[in-house]
A = this chain, B = another copy of it.
Amino acid sequence: VKATSRKPTVKDVAKAAGVSPMTVSNVINASGRVSSDTAIRVRQVIEELGYRQSTAARRFRLSKQWMIGLLVVDDNLSFLGDPFTTEVITGLTNYLTGIGYSLTLRGIRPSQFDTHDLFHGIETDAMVLLLSGSSEERLRQLKSLQSFKVPIVLIQEPVPPLVTSVACIRQDDFGGGSAIALHLCATGARDFWMLVPRAVWPAFEARRAGFENAMSAVPGARLRVLDCEDERYETIVAVVSEALGHSRPEAIVGLNDQMAIAAMHAAQRLGLSVPDELQVTGFNGLAFWQFSTPHLTTVLSQGHEIGYRAGAELIAALGSGRFKQKDVVLPVSLRLAESTRHMG
């Protein structure tokens, strides 16, 4: 028996093995309803012919894709730029690869959301969403994505009220913000600046809220917000340099490590010593914190774990028809380094 030029199908295998196509199917899918003699023969023919199941046909027949879609909505063309996002994707991929699912990646700008034909050519069993923009925008994005009628996991933001078939995996950014505030206050600092970029990310809002909440319990603590056009290194350096020309805080709080390092550099260039004259804190602790001098006190994010859990919850929901938990919150931890002063 010689293979023809076209790819062999179940039919070819069946004929060569002297059985029917559905017996071949049963062998492949290990339904257990086939005698071992037949199974062995069929497997041998499969080997000989180099038969490989058509995934496309299976997907079509069973209307199941074994595929999860990841949509990142971001104004930045370089949407994977943040190492946190990267970590999430890695965790998700690692989970999905392990159970034979694929991940499909798509990045889109918020402005393209309505016009662009997002819906063309995407067909996944479930979706993972990294949204951005104001909360109204994000709600609109979410509602529109729900028309796919697949389970959805939101990363790093709580599920809005009255929304079904959606769960959320996030970390305790509020708690992380609180931990930073408490640590800084414990060093005796009271005068804080916070770098807040214009682009709205839910996690940033939570970090800020956590910081303000913890700070509000400390008498005399004051927070000044430095608005930044974007998160770029040059932007942050410019904003901080300008502000330091007029007054001096005791600590600058970055909502992520990149911004914190830029602020640190701006201060150091003006001759300020970190942490003696100015303390600096970051957030995430993934790739950057070690690259500054001194190393950055930061909050350890669990991007990989968040991605991994997102995959696990989604697959579980696919099986049972519903999410076990609507809101999964992972803990974070403060990691002290030399950019802040330590007690005892």
A interface residues with partner B (beta carbon < 8 Å): 52, 54-57, 59-60, 63, 65-67, 77-81, 83, 86-87, 89-90, 93-94, 97, 100-108, 117, 119-123, 233, 258, 261-262, 265, 268, 287-288, 290-293, 304
Contacts and interface: CB of A to CB of B under 8 A. Distances in A.
Contacts of A261: 291
Number of copies: 2
25 contacts: A52-B119, A55-B122, A56-B56, A56-B59, A59-B60, A67-B104, A77-B90, A78-B87, A79-B93, A80-B87, A81-B90, A97-B106, A97-B107, A100-B117, A102-B105, A102-B106, A102-B121, A104-B104, A262-B290, A265-B293, A287-B287, A287-B288, A288-B288, A292-B292, A292-B293
Q: Is the interface of A mostly helix, strand, loop or mixed?
A: mixed
A54 B87 CA distance: 32
A105 B89 contact: yes
A55 B124 CA distance: 10
Contacts of A268: 293
A304 to B, nearest CB: 7
A130 to B, nearest CB: 13
Given A60-B60, A103-B104, A105-B105, A233 B290 contact: yes
Nearest to A52: B119
A287 B80 CA distance: 12
Nearest to A119: B52
A281 to B, nearest CB: 15
Q: In this complex, which of A78, A89, A265 has the most chain B Cβ atoms within 10 angstroms of its Cβ?
A: A78
Nearest to A65: B56
B100 A304 contact: no
